[in-house]
C-alpha cells in the first residue's frame, strides 16, 4: 500500500457527472486501460489507496469518473461498477452499457469478500497465488463451497482513510478482462486524486 495520502483533485460537486457527459460527446475509440504489473510492484502502487477522506460524495464522484472512463468500452463489454463501505452499504452502483447479468453482481460480491477478508486487492491475491484458485483455497483450508465466496481476479480495490484503522470502502469493477477491471480503478484514482 502506498503511504502517500491522496485527495480528490476537483472537489466541485458534479465533476464526475460532467466527465460522463464529456465521454458521451467525445465518442471515438477508447484510450487503453493500463495493465497492472504481475509482481511485487503490485503491493506498492496497485494494491490499495490511502485517501485523505472518503465520503458518500467521493464515492459518487469516483463512480461517475469510472463510468466516464468505461463508457467508450460499453459497446464491446458491458461492465458493472460497485462502491461499497466496509459494512456492506453500497454507495454507488451502475452498469455501463447494456448486457450485464446477475453473474456480474456475483463477481462483485466475490471480489468485495476477498478484499474485506484479506485486506488486499484481488489483483494482489491473483499475483500472490499465480491465479491458482486451488492453491488459494487450500492455503486457507476452505471447502469448494467456502471458496466460491471469494475471487482472486483483478477488479477489487480497498480504500483506506488516513487515521482510520482498516478498510473503509471497496471499489469493484466487473465485466472486462481482470487486468482491465483492476487497471481502470487504479487509472481513474491516480488521475483524479493527488
Residue position matching grid coordinates 452499504: 89
pLDDT for 99-128, tens place per residue? 999 999 999 999 999 999 999 999 999 989
In this structure, are residues 186 and 36 in contact, taking their beta carbons and an 8 Å threshold? Answer: yes
What residue segments make up the domains of the chain, in order of their start? 5-20+35-192
CATH for the stretch 5-20+35-192? 3.30.450.150
Name which of 159, 176, 157, 149 is nearest 75 in CA terms: 176
CA distance 108 to 15: 25
CA distance 162 to 143: 36
> Between these two residues, 27 and 42, which has the higher pLDDT value?
27
Residue position matching grid coordinates 458493472: 80
Over range 79-95, report the average pLDDT: 97
User: Is residue 51 within a helix (H) or strand (E), and if so which, with residue range?
Assistant: strand 49-51
Q: In terms of pTM, does the model score above 0.75?
A: yes
pLDDT number for residue 1: 47
Amino acid at each position: 500500500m502506498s503511504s502517500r495520502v491522496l485527495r480528490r483533485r476537483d472537489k466541485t460537486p458534479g465533476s464526475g457527472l460532467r466527465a460522463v457527459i464529456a465521454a458521451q460527446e467525445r465518442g471515438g475509440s477508447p484510450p487503453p486501460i493500463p495493465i497492472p504489473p504481475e509482481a511485487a510492484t503490485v503491493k506498492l502502487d496497485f494494491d490499495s489507496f490511502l485517501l485523505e477522506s472518503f465520503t458518500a460524495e467521493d464515492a459518487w464522484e469516483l463512480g461517475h469518473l469510472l463510468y466516464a472512463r468505461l463508457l467508450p468500452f460499453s459497446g464491446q463489454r458491458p461492465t458493472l461498477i460497485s462502491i461499497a463501505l466496509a459494512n456492506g452499504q453500497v454507495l454507488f452502483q451502475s452498469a455501463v452499457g447494456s448486457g450485464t447479468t446477475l453473474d456480474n453482481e456475483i463477481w462483485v460480491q466475490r471480489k468485495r469478500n476477498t478484499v474485506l477478508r484479506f485486506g488486499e486487492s484481488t489483483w494482489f491475491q491473483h499475483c500472490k497465488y499465480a491465479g491458482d484458485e486451488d492453491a488459494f483455497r487450500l492455503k486457507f483450508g476452505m471447502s469448494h463451497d467456502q471458496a466460491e465466496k471469494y475471487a482472486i481476479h483483478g477488479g477489487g480495490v480497498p480504500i483506506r482513510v488516513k487515521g482510520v484503522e482498516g478498510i473503509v470502502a471497496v471499489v469493484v469493477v466487473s465485466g472486462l478482462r481482470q487486468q482491465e477491471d483492476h487497471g481502470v480503478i487504479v487509472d481513474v484514482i491516480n488521475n483524479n486524486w493527488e
